[in-house]
Amino acid sequence: MSNSYKNKNLITQNLDWNIIQSEMKTKLGTDIYESWLKKIQFVEEFNNYLLLSVPTRFIRDWITSRYLDQILKSIKTYKKEIIRIEFKIIEKKENINQKQIVSNQIANRENISFIKDSYLQYNRIDPNKRFENFITGSSNKLAYEASLKVCENISNYNPLYIYGGVGMGKTHLLNSIGLELKKENKVMFISAERFMYQFVKSIKANDMVKFKEYFRNTDILLIDDIQFMNGKEAMQEEFFHTFNALLDKGSQIIVSADRAPNKLSRIQERIKSRFSGGLVVDIQKPDYELRKKIVGRKTDELNNLYSEKVKISKDIQDFISNEITNNVRELTGAINRIVSYSRIYNKIPNLFEVKTVLKDLLNVSETKVTIDLIQTLVCKYFKISKNEMLSSRRSRYLVRPRQTAIYLTKILTSKSLPEIGREFSNRDHTTIIHSVKTIEKLKVKDLDMVDNINKLKNQILYNNSENEI
């Protein structure tokens, strides 16, 4: 026993770990050495095997899967009897201040994964997007319930894959999950685009260890818009291994995309297979009842936000709910526009004004605007004949309707000044300019003129005989 003890000590003393490290640096390169092998520390040697230490489990797994044979070969150069290596996890001692920070974080249960330097500042959890203010209907009920279940029992539905079109509420649900789970878990919420950016940045900085440890050390990983990984093979490879590492340790993964897993283009089949192996739920276009609830809720929120009440009639709300059908984001944007219009002009908007403000969002089939149509409707509005309008007579009751028709033709069609002049009994283009400028000046000081123009535009554009709600 005594001889064995002496031999053990003798061997330990004779093994110079610095030499082994120097040799590995030469053989494997400075980059690999600095990133991985430098972190290996000599602990002890027992007859035919060597005990080494590394600071984390991840580093151990990485080294053993890629460099173990090379390390053992270098060691056997000096000690042929060494036939195997074992690694022990010994966390690197931090200074007192760092330990105190960690301890305070644990004590305060501040478990959201923020890095305080410029390395990773992309945790995008929005405290305003909660389960409480997510409005549900038949089109999104399943996704909502699945998100709640994940919060109740993590890893039960893993991964959770939520897909749907733009502006349907996917990001809102991911935020809600993150807010709920961060109370008890370490949470990371990042977009696929940001994940890619940080991946590339880490490669350039030769800092992949930090990148890998950061993402694989989290309890909850939420990735938004996963479809943006398409065609990025290196990033997909890293995501695949991160995905597997998280599943192995029982972490929850939640992913959103704009389409079902099997519809993702230029994404590795093995990744799509893992997405499909979890719980897949979709968010469809909101139906009328859901749209109506959203419009009503948003209007109430804005009424509570501003001291003066914003008046949007029920008829206007119903109109918006009926006409804007694409997604939730457009609905809330429409309400914001109308409320802003109401507050800026200090008035209750009528239907024409609403249509004007929301023209780019509305699915309203507009009548093709022609000069003949403009002339016909203006004459009908002012109760004159078309022959009287086109005549050379300069009576006031004829001049104003004529100028109004010319003005509407200029703003509602793409006709040139000479073309407009020809349609108004071959009038000179300077006359057309004078008419347009006259109406523009009158609109500034004459509210009746503004009202007339708005009513006529409503009739011309939408073939609507109703002037106001």
In this predicted model, what pLDDT tens digit does every residue of 239-273 receive, in sequence order? 999 999 999 888 999 999 999 999 998 899 999 99
Lowest-confidence pick of 12-26, 174-188, 418-432: 12-26
Most confident of 4-8, 283-287, 368-372, 447-451: 283-287
Domain(s) labelled CATH 1.10.8.60 in the chain stretch across 288-357
Residue 268: per-residue pLDDT: 92
Q: What is the CATH code for 371-462?
A: 1.10.1750.10
- What is the percent of the chain with per-residue pLDDT over 70, rounded to a whole number? 84
Residue 119: per-residue pLDDT: 37
Residue 467: per-residue pLDDT: 42
Domain(s) labelled CATH 3.40.50.300 in the chain stretch across 131-283
* Banded model confidence at residue 67, pLDDT cuts 50, 70, 90: confident
- What is the percent of the chain with per-residue pLDDT over 90, rounded to a whole number? 30
Domain(s) labelled CATH 3.30.300.180 in the chain stretch across 2-89
Please report, for residues 29, 33, 72, 75, 78, the alpha-carbon distance to residue 16 in angstroms, rounded to integers and kept in the order given: 20, 17, 14, 10, 9
Q: Is 255 exposed, middle or buried (0-12, 13-18, 19+ CB in 10 A)?
A: buried
Residue 368: per-residue pLDDT: 66
Query: What is the rounded CA–CA span in Å between residue 375 and residue 401?
Result: 9
| 303: amino acid identity, one letter | N
Domain(s) labelled CATH 1.10.1750.10 in the chain stretch across 371-462
Query: What is the rounded CA–CA span in Å between residue 151 and residue 104?
Result: 25
pLDDT of residue 403 exceeding 90, the answer is yes
pLDDT of residue 31 exceeding 70, the answer is yes
Please report, for residues 42, 111, 250, 392, 462, the alpha-carbon distance to residue 176 in angstroms, rounded to integers and kept in the order given: 47, 16, 21, 69, 41
Give the length of the chain: 469
| Whether domain 288-357 has CATH 3.20.20.70 | no
The residue-averaged pLDDT of 175-190 equals 89
Q: What is the CATH code for 131-283?
A: 3.40.50.300
Residue 447: per-residue pLDDT: 85
Q: What is the pLDDT of residues 117-133, one digit of tens each?
A: 333 445 667 888 899 98
Lowest-confidence pick of 15-19, 214-218, 239-243, 392-396: 15-19
| 56: amino acid identity, one letter | T
Query: What is the rounded CA–CA span in Å between residue 462 and residue 367?
Result: 6
| 147: amino acid identity, one letter | S
Residue 114: per-residue pLDDT: 35
* Banded model confidence at residue 325, pLDDT cuts 50, 70, 90: confident
Residue 123: per-residue pLDDT: 60
Q: What is the CATH topology of the domain spanning 2-89?
A: GMP Synthetase; Chain A, domain 3 (3.30.300)
The phi and psi torsions of 86 (rounded to 5 degrees) equal: -125, 145
Say how many Å lie between the first and final Cα of the chain, rounded. Answer: 103
pLDDT of residue 7 exceeding 70, the answer is no
